[in-house]
Every structure is written in structure tokens, then in C-alpha cells.
Chain A
Amino acid sequence: MTLLFVALLALFALAVVGVAARRSPWVGTAVYGGTATACGLIGLWAVGALVGRDGAVAAVLPIGVPWIGVHLRADGVSAFFLLVVALGGVTASLFGWGYERAHEQAADHSGVHSGGESGPVLPFFPLFLAGMSLVLLANDAFSFLVSWEFMSLTSWLLVLSTHRDPDTPDAARLYLMMAVLGTLCLLLAFGLLVGTGGDYRFDAIRQHPPEAGAAALVVLLMVLGAGSKAGLVPLHVWLPLAHPAAPSHVSALMSGVMTKVAVYALVRVLFDLLGEPVWWWGGALMAAGAVTAVMGVLYALMQDDVKRLLACSTIENIGVILIALGLALVFKASHTPVIAALALSAALLHVVNHSLFKSLLFFVAGAILTATGTRDLNRLGGLIHRMPTTAVLALIGAAAISALPPLNGFVGEWLLFQAILNAPALPEWSLKIGIAVVGAAVALAAALAAACFVRLYGIAFLGRPRSAEAGRAGEVGRAMLAGMAIPAALCVALGVLPTFVIRLFEPAVRAMVQAGPFDDRSYQPWIWLAPTSAIGNSYNGLILLGMIAALSVALVLAIHRWASDRVRRSIAWGCGHDGDDPAALSQYSASSFAQPIRRAFGGTVFNARDRVEMPEPGDTRPARLTVCWTDPAWAFLFTPVRRAVNWLADHADALQFLTIRSYLTLMFAALVVVLTLVAVVRS
């Protein structure tokens, strides 16, 4: 634990450095380097804790709520999530260092002073990481919520570092608002968990779990509270706005890591603090997850902004994780802990997977932004020629998030399906049938995600440049590439050797569902992923990768040996276009790529409409296609709420402009009413 404390204190100290030395040229290097080191230490500690399996370690600090103190405890779950945070922290620091330097240089070149352009990132970056780590360590309600809110606060400030962008203030405001609403829900939930005694320790809550009604309410509030942070539909609206608004390495942390902290909150409360679960908790979680997964990916398909698209895709992945959590809960409630362990393993594996490839993809978005200055898909294109290394790494990320074997995304999906296929073991009919539907939703989301990332990669990296900036782009610096390469390598490694990771976080799973995913197997060959439950199901990423590599190489050699190997370059055939239109307007754009899917799904869900403005024959103006769609979450939830508050505020405002006599009348009325009440109550 000492190592952990040192690392956390270092993060706080780095924030101070970031403030105190903000003028000095080496401060970026110091803060990002320090943060990477501290996160590395945290990660090492977490791995040590998971490998050592020496149970939970705890500490009490004499601060916080006076009669409670701050309780910290790290068990398997905490250690696992700490590892996720640390991984994200290391890569984001590395990438962020390069990213900020690149942006400073760009600002120096263009003659605009960077200091006036954006707000500070350095002090809040380590604090954000520290906040997330503390959430994972907290072992009493107060420290949990303080850290939770601190995490929101620092990330809000990080979003606001781009406050000169026209979109940022609204995004930041919505973000903080939703974050605080979520925290208030969590406050209420913990209020119920703690009861009236004021003993905020998790240990005390564990000993006295609430009775059924209160527990149900806690579940609801947790889903709302943690869900709003994770991006549960329809509470996701802030996410596609706020995540992209932050600098890219922060976006990566927010999307890749912070949403996982919300998942941790759900795991901690639903699996640990609430005691024995009831089956419908999991059912509700799965239903919410299914809606979130499908809606999230549909949102992503509608976006033209690279980072916004990635943020929407985060919503989808959170949905998948929630489905897995729900399954685990359902199986735990039905006393089949081994299958629950399988589902929970799927959830946790997807947590680490998503944190990896989403960080990677946000870094890619940052690299694109650095190289081209735009995030608009419709202004990109052809980057594979100008940013070759980034393009390879981005391809790994896109393939991984599309759940393609032999990468890591597929392993998570595979495990999840293995758990889903065990639905017949459940006693509840509604669940059996419901899980089939949820399975369809997962499959749909996965397939749509593949479409979404074909679109992202195809539009941004392939084809011809759609703007001069995209045509001039160049490869980004080494630090940024390294920041991208680490998660990309891990994506491959996890896909090929998933068993290692699943074994690594087995203590976490065991702590939550009291079983491991491989418990029924007496013998577990190390490279085969063959969990419990069904006969013969197994998967081997290593052999798959080996076979693909071997067959491909054999194929290439064979064809080049025995068939033709001549190549001639020519212009692409463009149906009469000579392939020389400089604006590359004849290419498919981001909107046109999404059109078939928009036609198939968007019409009902988003009320999406394509409007074509076709000029008269002879008119030389180009035809225009405009796509308009409405977000149901806004249309049916947030806009009405906003209108209601505005309406009330407008009407309450009359009270500011009354005459003194009217105010006296109010006072008099209050007095008379209260006196009458007293008279009535007494008689």
C-alpha cells in the first residue's frame, strides 16, 4: 500500500508543480513524465496485488468525516480497475506529452501565443488520475463520493481547457450538470445504504445490507448515478459533447477510463455492498445495456466528427459491459456462480479491452487533429499515405473495437456470448427469453460497430483527401506514436493470449461472485480459452493468428512464385470522372456512407430525413444533400426538462419585481398562515 500512497501523493504533488512552474519550459515534460511514472507504479502495484492474491489491503486515514475517517481498501476488483486506470494514465501521459508539444509548436509557428489560447491542462491531468484512483480505493461512502466528484470536477476543468472553442462551454456545462445529477443520485443511494446511523464505512454497509425495497431503490439510483457517468442511454447526452471537447489525451482518459470507474461503482455496489442480488436487478441492467449498446452505435454512425463518433461508440461499449454485468448478476442471483464468473469475466475483459482500444482510437483522433487541424470526417481522407504508422495503429484499433479475431475485442464478445448461451440454466422465463433478445442486441451492436469503424477508417485514412489540410498532413511525433503503439500492442497481445488476463483478474471475479470462470475445469491449457459451462467451446487466438499469418504468407509466396507478380499503376475508374477532381467530391462522404444504415434504422429511431436540393437543369450550382435527425433523448427527456425549468424560472422571476407592499403582504400572509396552522393543530 505504501507504493500506492507514494504514487498518489506524487500525482497531487505534480499538480502543484503544474501550477507553480507553469511558466518554465520543462514543466510539461516533468508533469507528464511524473504522471506516467506514478501511473506505472500504480499499475505495478495493481499487478502485484492481483498476482500475489494476498486478499485485500486496507488503511484508515484520520481525515474526512470526523467520526469515520477516510477508509481505503484495495481488493481484487479495485486492483483490476486500478490497473486499467494506470494503463490509461501511462499511455495518455506519453501521448499527451507529445500532443501538447506538437500543439505548442504549431501555435508558435502560427504566431499565436499558446498561453492565451487555452486553459491549463497540466495541474488537472494528474489530479484527474488521482481522483479516479481514489474512487477505486475508497472504502467508505464519503471518500467514495468525494473522489467521484473530484474526478468529475477535474475532468470538467480539463474539458474547459479548450474554452475558446465555441462548442466547449455548452458541452462542459452539460457535462458537469449531468455529473452532479449522477452524484446526487449516488448520494441518495448511499443515504439508503447507510441508513440513519451515520456509519458510512463500506464494511458496516456490508454487514447490514438494506431490505428489499430500499435495495431496489438503491439499484435504480446506482444505475442512474453511475449510468449517467458511464453514458447509459438516455443519460448519455453529455458524452458525445464533452469527451471530444477535451484535449485528445484527456478524451482518451474520459472515454476509455473514467467510464470504467462508473462501471466499477456499479460492480462495487451491486455485487458487493448490496449483498444477495435479486434476479430482476440484472434483468434491468441488461435491458438498459441492450438499449444503450444499440442506440450508442447508431449515434456513432450518425456522427461526422471523429472524436464525437468515438465518444458515441463508448456508449455502445458501455452498453455491452452493462449487459455482461447484468448477466453476471442474474446468474449470481440464481446461484450459478461459475457462470456468473464467466459473465463477470466477460465484463471485466471488455472493460480492459475497451479502455485499450478506445484510448488508442482517441489518440489516433488526436494525431489526426494534430496533423490536419480538423476532426470533421468530411474534410479528411487518404491519411494512410501521409501518416503510415498512425494508419497501421488505427487499423488495429478499428479492427479490435469491431470485435474481429484474433484481436482482443472479439475475445470479450466471445466470452459474453458464452455467458448468454447459458440462459437456459435460469429459472425465470422472462429472463430466458429476454436474454435471447439481449443477445440479438449485442450481435446487432457488434455488427453495426464494424460498419461504424469501416466508415471511420475508410473515410479518414483511405480514399483521397477531402481538404487541403488532409492533403498536407504529415506523420506525428515519436511520443505520440509510442502512446498509440502501446495500447495497440496490448490489443493484439490480449487477443492472442486472453487467458493470461482472465487469470490475472480472477481474484476480482472471485471476490464478487465467489467463483472463478474456470472452476469446473480441472485442467486448463494456458493458451486455450475454454471456460466452464458448456462442452467443447473453446477459442484460441494464438493459433488463429498463427494460422492467418502462416496461410497469408504461404499464399503470398505461392502466388508470387507461380502466378503473375506484375503491377501496373493507372487512374482509378470513376465512371467518367477522370479521377482528377481536386476536391474529391465524387468520393463517398461520411454522410453518404451512413445513408443505407440511416435509411434502415434512423428513420424510426432518430426521425432522420435526407433532404436533397437539386438545382434546375442548367443551373451550375451543385446539388446539396442535408441530413437532419433528432436525438430522442433530447426530444423526449432533456428538452422538456430544460423547458420546464425555464418556464418555472420565468414565472418565479416575477417575485423579483414586486412592490414593497406586496413583499410585506407575503410576509403577513406567511405569518397568518403559520398562526392559523398553530391554532388548528393545537385545537
Chain B
Amino acid sequence: MIDIGYDAAHLLGALVLMTSFALLYQRRLFSLLNVFTIQALALSGAAAWQAYAHDEPHLYITALLTLTLKAIAIPVALHRIIQRLHIERTVEPALGIGLTMVAGVSLVTLSILLVLPVTENATALTREDLALSLSVVLLGLLMMISRRNAVSQVVGFMSIENGLILAAVGVAGMPLVVEMSIAFSVMVAFIIFGIFLFQIRERFETLDVRKIESFRGESD
């Protein structure tokens, strides 16, 4: 039972991490969204499995929220935004893909280095989960800084949130408050992102962050 639980959780966690890597080397926006959907699905699965394995029914809610919001609603919305705003479909990486991958692997190594020696008292499952989620968070950040496109930055940001949820569900007995807040923040984040996307479109005719940044704060 525990072995199976461990393996399944491990598997799903690893899947989330793999999709994080996959996100890093996507060159097209739509495939980026697709990979993100897979990540959300995997995460939702991990949450559901934890709920089942540890008998924590509130985690089902988390799973459901993740499924509906991140696997369905957000990708669909982003699809529509891309189409409606006629955004360039390819992603312009700021860092070479190869370099990004090397950096990603280093980050995962760092996470494992950090987590493995420190959680001697925690269960193996928690340790694994923590290492995985730490990697996902760091990779999400890497994603944000290695892309110039606003949509991919949004995806990177949400991939960080996925890492957080992965960590939260991995810890036994984490009160619901946190998940609610995550859901809340994701929702609000998305709304605000949406507002910004529209307004940025209104002002700058493009979603490319670089163009926005050419506007400097210190006008003279």
C-alpha cells in the first residue's frame, strides 16, 4: 500500500517536473499551452492520489480546482487571447534553449542537494515531493526569465504556482487555508493578467514585454 502510494506519488510528481522541463524548450505558444495543460493534469492527479492515499478529502477539492482552472479554463482563455490579439505564435527565447536546459538541470541538482540532507525526520515521500516541487518552482522562475513573450511569462508564473501546490499536497495535513489562498491568488492573478494584457494591447500594440520595457520610468 505504502509502496504503491509512494510510487504513484513519485510518478505523478516526476511527471510534473518533466513537463516543467518540456515547458522550457517549447518554441511555439500553442504547444507551450498544451504542455502546461499536461502539467496541470499531472498535478491534479497527484493531488487526487494524495487525497486517496492519506485519506484527506479536502485535497480532492484542490485536485478539482487545479483541473478546472489550470487544465481547462486558463489554457482555453490564453488560446483565445492569442488568437484575438494576433500574437506572434512563436516564442522568442532570451536564453539559448541548450543553455536553458543546462541551467534547468543544474537547478534540479541544486534542489536535490538542498532537500535530501535536510529532511531526515520527514517521510521519504515528503522529501521526494519537496525536492520535486522545489525543482518545479525554480524551473518556473527560469522559464519566466528565459522568455520574452508575455504569455509565456504568465505560463511560467503559473508553473511556479503548480510547484507550490505540489509541495502543499505533499505535506500531510496541510490546512485548507493554503490551497484556498492559492486558488484565490491564481484566479486574481489571472484576472489582473487579463486586464493587463488588454491594456498593454491598448497601449503598446504588442504583447512583447520588451516593447513595454523600452518605456523608461525616468522620463526626461
Residues of A within 8 A of B (CB): 656-661, 664-665, 668, 671-672, 675-676, 678-679, 682-683
Contacts and interface: CB of A to CB of B under 8 A. Distances in A.
B138 A661 contact: no
A659 B107 contact: no
A665 B148 CA distance: 12
Contact of B138 (A660, A672, A682): A672
B158 interface: no
Interface string B91-122: 00010000000000001001001100110000
Interface stretch (B124-132, B139-147, B184-192): B139-147
Interface of B: 94, 107, 110, 113-114, 117-118, 138, 141-142, 144-145, 147-148, 153, 209-210, 212-213, 216-218
3 A-B pairs with the lowest CB-CB distances in the bound complex, closest first: A659-B213, A665-B145, A664-B145
A656 B218 CA distance: 8
Q: Is the interface of B mostly helix, strand, loop or mixed?
A: helix
B107 A660 contact: no
B141 A656 contact: no
Given A675-B110, A676-B110, A661 B217 contact: no
A663 to B, nearest CB: 9
Contact of B141 (A657, A659, A668): A668
B110 A657 contact: no
Nearest to A667: B141
A7 B50 CA distance: 79
27 contacts: A656-B217, A657-B216, A657-B217, A657-B218, A658-B213, A659-B209, A660-B209, A660-B212, A660-B213, A661-B94, A661-B147, A661-B148, A661-B153, A661-B209, A664-B141, A664-B145, A668-B141, A668-B145, A671-B138, A671-B141, A672-B107, A672-B138, A679-B113, A679-B114, A682-B117, A683-B113, A683-B117
A115 B148 CA distance: 58
Nearest to B147: A661
Q: Which secondary structure dominates where chain A touches chain B?
A: helix
Given A676-B110, A679-B113, A668 B94 contact: no
A676 B107 CA distance: 10
Contacts of B218: 656-657
Contacts of B117: 682-683
B86 to A, nearest CB: 23
A4 to B, nearest CB: 52
Given A664-B145, A672-B107, A678 B114 contact: yes
A678 B115 CA distance: 11
Given A665-B145, A682-B118, A683-B117, A659 B210 contact: yes
Nearest to B113: A679
Contacts of B107: 672
Contacts of B210: 659
A672 B141 CA distance: 11
A664 B95 CA distance: 14
Contacts of A659: 209-210, 213
Contacts of B142: 668
Point out which of A660, A661, A672, A675 has the most chain B C-beta atoms below 10 A from its C-beta. Answer: A661
A658 B210 CA distance: 10
Given A657-B216, A657-B218, A664 B144 contact: yes
Contacts of A678: 114
A39 B76 CA distance: 82
Contacts of A679: 110, 113-114
A658 to B, nearest CB: 8
Contacts of A658: 213
A47 to B, nearest CB: 60
A678 B216 CA distance: 36
Contact of B114 (A657, A665, A675): A675
A679 B138 CA distance: 15
A304 to B, nearest CB: 39
Nearest to A664: B145
Contacts of B138: 671-672
A655 to B, nearest CB: 11
A429 B117 CA distance: 65
A672 B145 contact: no
A678 B117 CA distance: 12
Contacts of A682: 117-118
Contacts of A657: 216-218
A678 to B, nearest CB: 7
A671 B145 CA distance: 13
Contacts of A676: 110
Contacts of B145: 661, 664-665, 668
A657 B213 CA distance: 8
A682 B116 CA distance: 12
Contacts of B118: 682
A219 B46 CA distance: 68
A678 B113 CA distance: 10
Nearest to A656: B218
A502 to B, nearest CB: 62
A400 to B, nearest CB: 55
B172 to A, nearest CB: 25
Contacts of A665: 145
Contacts of B216: 656-657
A660 B145 CA distance: 9
Contact of A672 (B110, B153, B217): B110
A683 B144 CA distance: 30
A657 B216 CA distance: 6
